[in-house]
């Protein structure tokens, strides 16, 4: 599913124009993005939790040369689905 598909479904369900649906969708994504950029957790009841975690520096290896390198620290985004979402996904197997 793409953002365009989401916009189309929102327009159908809410009975609004595609332009309005685009505005709603962009607003929600912008809010989610700004929340995560600050490092704040994002919890959506019945869906799941998004969290930004810090990974420390670590040693790695260049597979072509075998040379040891340092992989720099970085922030990663994790998602943990809610029990409701997990159950819904597993029910449809």
Question: pLDDT tens digits, residue range 5-24?
Answer: 999 999 999 999 999 999 99
d(CA 17, CA 9): 11
* 25 assigned to some structural domain: yes
What is the extent of the structural domain holding 33? 1-38
Reported confidence tier of residue 49, pLDDT bands at 50, 70, 90: very high
Q: Is 0.85 topped by the overall pTM?
A: no
* 66 assigned to some structural domain: no
d(CA 36, CA 30): 10
* 10 assigned to some structural domain: yes
C-alpha triplet 84, 4, 44: angle, nearest 5°: 25
Residue 92 pLDDT: 64
Report the domain count for the chain.
Answer: 1
């Amino acid at each position: 599913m793409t953002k365009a598909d989401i916009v189309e479904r929102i327009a159908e369900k809410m009975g609004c124009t595609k332009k309005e649906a685009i505005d709603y969708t962009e607003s929600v994504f912008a809010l989610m993005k700004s929340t995560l950029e600050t490092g704040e957790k994002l919890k959506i009841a019945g869906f799941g939790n998004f969290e930004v975690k810090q990974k420390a520096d670590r040693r790695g290896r260049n597979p072509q040369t075998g040379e040891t390198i340092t992989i720099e620290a970085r922030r990663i985004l994790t998602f943990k689905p809610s029990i409701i979402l997990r159950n819904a996904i597993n029910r449809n197997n």
